[in-house]
Amino acid sequence: MKSAFEIPFVGLKIGVHEFEFEIDNTFFESLPYSLIEKGSLKAWLTLEKKETMLIASFDIDGTVEMECSRCNEPMDVEVFGEMEIIYKFGHEAVEDENLIVISPDSYEIDITQPIYELITVSLPSRPVHDEGECDEEMVKLIEKFQSTENNKNDDDTDPRWSALKNLN
């Protein structure tokens, strides 16, 4: 079955071509090790075809569902980002992550992986709910354990560390 994210470039004329994609839960389900399970995004691809290369400019915008790093409840996280990849015709190996060498015999590019990578690098490193939106029970439980841990640390302080605190 042909994917909507496989772009046949052989029939395209030299010049700029634009594509738009809807990304939903089925996109993430099709990826075997996806960290994201649910989302609703749009992706735009501006593909410039030249004689010896393709220049692909990606833009994404939308939301994905992730767990809050504070209370572990699901939350919608806004995602937006942009990236450019150059597809060059040839056979040589390259180490540049934004340059992909494709065989001169190729007739299409699959943009599934670049779109997924753009989404994942556009995610915040620590998604948390806005103040007051976290699960109250979880917040109380965290505060309880933090306060008991702090009290425990104060009582068990090695006297050598106490002496170091007075050095300032």
**137-166: pLDDT as tens digits:** 887 887 787 776 666 555 566 777 777 777
- Separation CA 139–CA 148 (nearest Å): 14
Q: What's the pTM value of the predicted model, to 2 decimals?
A: 0.77
- Separation CA 99–CA 93 (nearest Å): 10
- Separation CA 116–CA 122 (nearest Å): 10
- Burial (CB < 10 A; 0-12, 13-18, 19+), residue 162, is exposed
pLDDT for res 157:
66
Of residues 62 and 131, the one with the higher pLDDT is 62
H-helix segments, the chain: 25-29, 112-121, 136-155, 159-165
Please report, for residues 5, 72, 111, 122, the alpha-carbon distance to residue 128 in angstroms, rounded to integers and kept in the order given.
Answer: 31, 9, 30, 15
Residue-wise pLDDT tens digits, 42-89: 999 999 999 889 999 999 999 999 998 888 889 999 999 999 999 998
pLDDT for res 84:
96
pLDDT for res 112:
92
Place of tokens 């909507």: 4
